[in-house]
A and B are shown apart, each in its own frame.
Chain A
């Protein structure tokens, strides 16, 4: 399966939607709507509202996340915004500011 990757030097300003996993190493501003997993890697910066199934954050995220399954903030992840998801994991070392809503 083709994986979508937004590379280091790429800047996207707008809306991304899709049905497959998305890996972000660059910068995305705007909105992300996925029915699969979003992975924000170390070098990735996201300033967007996010609606996905899974989210894995190792980079920077500013914006609200609504996830149908799981949101994970890794130890080098930094996030500002609200998270709404049934399962939320925040690893030791992660930086987070915002509200958490685990209601299903």
Chain B
């Protein structure tokens, strides 16, 4: 990581645990922490934990934000967000209002995004344009808007258009028979499929608040 290699540029900004350094015990603080080496035990931060690609953290982690490009074994409690990048690997549970797991990341554990019942409805497009100010402090709204929604790929499923559904019903039955070969093509359209298959977010409240998420590298 280029930023961590130049500690002189931000002398007060961040703490860096270098590649060959191994810390065992408790670590707490009010600033960003970049881990390029190894930390075992417990990490409590008021700001961001960054686990670089070479970094290994085996600890109970309690932070505001976490960005994982290395290895984390242990549970993470984040008051704001947790992001597992493409290179990141994690085993443990995540408790955070925002969780981002990028394609290529590897994760085993449970995810808890908190009070889902009180969250605004997960209309993906609406969430993107209007980040929820209720759950987060105002300062974070800007980056929040820029990031993709947690469960991801909301754009691919626009709200089900009412048009396709009535159209087959409006047709006379005979014509429907004539058009039989065309019919199989219709279910393939995402607009028809989506109402049958509710988006992932809709299922969450029923499944309590714990969900098993496994993302494997392709």
Residues of A bordering B, CB below 8 Å: 1-23, 26, 30
A14 pairs with B20, CB closer than 8 A? no
B25 pairs with A9, CB closer than 8 A? no
Residue B62 at the chain A interface, CB threshold 8 Å: no
Given contacts A3-B7, A3-B16, A3-B18, contact A30 B25 (CB under 8 A): yes
The CA-CA distance from A30 to B19 in the complex, in Å, is 20
Q: Mark B34-53, 1 if CB is under 8 A from A, else 0.
A: 00110001000010000000
A12 pairs with B26, CB closer than 8 A? yes
20 contacts between A and B (CB under 8 A): A1-B18, A2-B18, A2-B19, A2-B36, A4-B17, A4-B21, A9-B30, A10-B27, A10-B28, A10-B31, A11-B27, A13-B26, A14-B23, A14-B27, A15-B23, A15-B24, A16-B22, A16-B24, A21-B18, A22-B18
Q: What is the size category of the interface that chain B forms with chain A? A: 20 to 34
The CA-CA distance from A13 to B29 in the complex, in Å, is 11
The closest CB in chain B to the CB of A11 belongs to: B28
The closest CB in chain B to the CB of A29 belongs to: B25
The CA-CA distance from A1 to B24 in the complex, in Å, is 22
Residue B33 at the chain A interface, CB threshold 8 Å: yes
The CA-CA distance from A6 to B16 in the complex, in Å, is 6
The CA-CA distance from A16 to B25 in the complex, in Å, is 9
Residue B12 at the chain A interface, CB threshold 8 Å: yes
* Nearest CB of B to A41, in Å: 10
The CA-CA distance from A8 to B30 in the complex, in Å, is 8
- Report which of B5, B7, B21, B46 forms a contact with A20, defined as CB distance below 8 A: B21
A16 pairs with B14, CB closer than 8 A? no
> Apart from A12-B23, A13-B26, A26-B15, what are 4 other A-B pairs with CB-CB below 8 Å?
A11-B27, A12-B25, A14-B23, A15-B22
